[in-house]
Chain A
Amino acid sequence: MLSHKKLTVSHAPFWHDGSSISARSYHTMLATLPAVLFGLFSYGFLAFGVVSLSISFAMIWELAINKVTKRSISIGDGNAALIGLIFAMLLPATSPWWLVITGTFVAVVIGKHIFGGIGANPFNPVLIGLAMLMVSWTDFFDFDQALLNYDLGFVMVYPLAALKHLGPAGIDAFSTTDLLMGQQTGGIGATFSLGLIAGGIYLMIRGFIRWEISLSFLAGVFVTALLFNLKNPAMYADPLFHLFTGYTLIGAFFLAPEDSSSPVNFIPMLIYGAGGGIMTVLIRNAGAYIDGVVFAILLMNIINPLIDKIRPKALGKVV
């Protein structure tokens, strides 16, 4: 029993399906492209600056925390860049540089690495960063004020703000087609509904996000908005308006299904998604904030560990 060739010995299985975290991140970035490119074309160089700065600084913060905590360099997995990209998609094109740098710091360092890095964050890092900025510097997130100097050839009023202040009467100018085609103001990558839907469908089919969460989130928004609308059409906007404005679509496809902060079992995914959708409309229609997506998803992040305990019985389990 002597052999001189050393063989590789390892445990089964001896196959891998070839998936990887970096592929996951890059495909998600690819899916954001239609919406992001539309935003860049609409808002020009300012938007380009915000997106570039956001991605770069998300990666720089990741690198810095790798160095400080003496861990292996993890920017190669694309997760930091993805955080930066999605974060930029939510910002107005006129965000000042320090806002972007602070936001990415909160997202990457406080939102992700303080909890132990990728896979360990209880909240969506992007939303942690954004919520912190929204609470601290409310004015910069007033889209009407932020985009005051732009005239893109359509009604330059933030639809959700118009709804909040004027009621359904204020949103007559927005047709569903306009909203779908991105004829609305908002975050750099959050206005082009059709592009976001295309990206979302791609991610769902490829299995990079969990379709259960996205679809139940949209269903939650639609049904809740519909109920409000049926109760009092004069006060509450119709459900399609809620679906295609603000952060709804980006929330459904890019924020709510974030891996670490969302459940993985079937029923919990439905509860999580639907809960996020319901909360979104409740905040929009009954709450103080103009858009509810950020806080609705953060809230669902909190209850995620609890609801993810609802799971099917394991094979052969006796009790």
Chain B
Amino acid sequence: MIKRSFIGFTKPLIAYDALESAPPEPKQIQTPKKITLFIDTPYNYKDSLLLNIGDNVKTGQRLSYSEDNDAYVIASATGTISSITSILGDYGKSYTAVTIDTNETEEMDDHFTALRKDPTFDTAKNYLDSMPGKPSFNRFIDSENSIDTIIICGMDADLYIKTNQYILKAELEAIANGIRILKDITQVDHVIIAVPESLMQDAILLGTEVRTVNTEYPAALPHLMVKSFTGQAVPVGKDFGDIGICFFTAEAVASIGKTFANGSIPVTKTFTFIDKNEIKTLVSAKIGTTVSEILDAFDITLDEKDRIIFGGPMTGSAIYSADYPILPDTDAIIVQARDKLDYISDYPCINCGDCVRSCPANIPVNMLVRLLEAGQYEEASDQYDLYSCIECGLCSYVCVSKIPVFHYIKLAKYELDLTRTAEATNA
């Protein structure tokens, strides 16, 4: 954990971790006895599923949810489906969890081999959505405006994570191939790769436009990258799709490149594992491996009230069980010992202004939080720029009163969304 520095009159200066010049190979985790995959749709036992308990699946096989729901996941191991259940994620989002008892011998599904010859957008959308890095092909369909720029993130948005920097260094060829295919299937010519200064030399070899990102948090957050590359901020109320921008992680692009080069869909996820002593290790494991398997591999005992975080220390999300699996977009796992946790408090804002000083979006956080504490979300969004928030978490990080400011902001956005949806349906 990075603490406040002695000199405190500036905003906090927290640097991203730079990758070593010769990064060690990621630690390999064996295929566990059980893997759990999430299909991005709520589970309903009344649906006529295309999956059944007892079905045999092969590595790389596409597991569709049902005939009339095109949600799917790619099996990351060979084995037998042992359970299908409903799982609740953040903000009430619901998934279908498919657990597979794995076999020792791995059989590869060869369905994709025929499709690799002629990469099309539909193939990508129908097979690659749950690849490592979680490429977002739906952005190209959902958005009303057409996408004209793709930004590839060669570094992770949050602190301590080196996953995408490593991928950029280690899988340059796959990324180059991926960029070519991506340009081809999406018809987008303008591809920018965003990297820290230290990886500039590698990124140049990709032959596409390279932009450097400042190495101080939160410069690698998507909103700030867009501001720094285009000179214009995303207008409040619009998303990246509305201004024609789509983001891919370096890992997603590398996965696309590897898929079409090899004819098999990658199922191994690389991520940064940060243990209780804040030692960072790159790990490579099958998607669906549970966190407890990873902890075992590192000989870490989990105690009651410890905290496990998916993602970075500023923007990640805490999970409630060590049986939670690695997901396609899990770029980091942090384990925090309970005696090192910082707790929030119910103290009021003392108006010290540290949050205002650190806010990259110029939000008057001191006023905003007063309204949010009172539950006045509409006023907060009208008067104090609630929707300008780019969710970097610095306000909570620096708060002298330990107010969970970021939590309040997310809650307000969530509540406002609920009311607006309700108003729209009842109108």
Contact = CB atoms under 8 A, between A and B. Distances in A.
Contact of B393 (A12, A18, A24): A12
A118 B362 contact: no
A5 B320 CA distance: 9
A10 B396 CA distance: 13
Given A3-B321, A205-B8, A14 B350 contact: no
B359 to A, nearest CB: 9
20 contacts: A1-B321, A3-B292, A6-B304, A7-B302, A9-B320, A11-B318, A11-B404, A12-B311, A13-B315, A13-B396, A13-B397, A17-B2, A116-B348, A119-B401, A205-B6, A206-B9, A210-B353, A264-B352, A311-B364, A316-B233
A316 B8 contact: no
A13, A18, A205, A314 pick with most chain B CB within 10 angstroms = A13
Task: Please tell me the size bucket of the interface on A.
Answer: 35 or more
> Secondary structure of the A side of the interface?
loop
Contacts, number: 196
Interface string A260-272: 1010110000000
A253 interface: no
B321 A316 contact: no
Given A11-B406, A14-B313, A311-B362, A119 B4 contact: no
Given A1-B321, A21-B347, A315-B233, A8 B307 contact: yes
A153 interface: no
Given A15-B2, A116-B348, A264-B357, 7 more contacts: A1-B321, A1-B323, A14-B318, A17-B398, A19-B400, A21-B401, A318-B236
Given A20-B400, A314-B362, A314-B385, A12 B315 contact: yes
A15 B357 CA distance: 18
A12 B314 contact: yes
Contacts of B12: 17
A204 interface: yes
Contacts of A206: 6-9
A7 B305 contact: yes
Given A17-B4, A17-B12, A317 B236 contact: yes
A118 B400 CA distance: 12
Interface stretch (B58-66, B200-208, B336-344): B336-344
B323 A204 contact: no
Interface in B276-327: 292, 302-309, 311, 313-324
Interface of A: 1-3, 5-21, 24, 77, 116-120, 204-208, 210-211, 259-260, 262, 264-265, 311-318
Nearest to B407: A11
B2 A10 contact: no
Closest 4 CB pairs of A and B: A207-B8, A264-B353, A13-B393, A315-B361
A277 to B, nearest CB: 20
A14 B347 contact: no
A309 B191 CA distance: 41
A205 B388 contact: no
Contacts of A2: 323
A77 B113 CA distance: 66
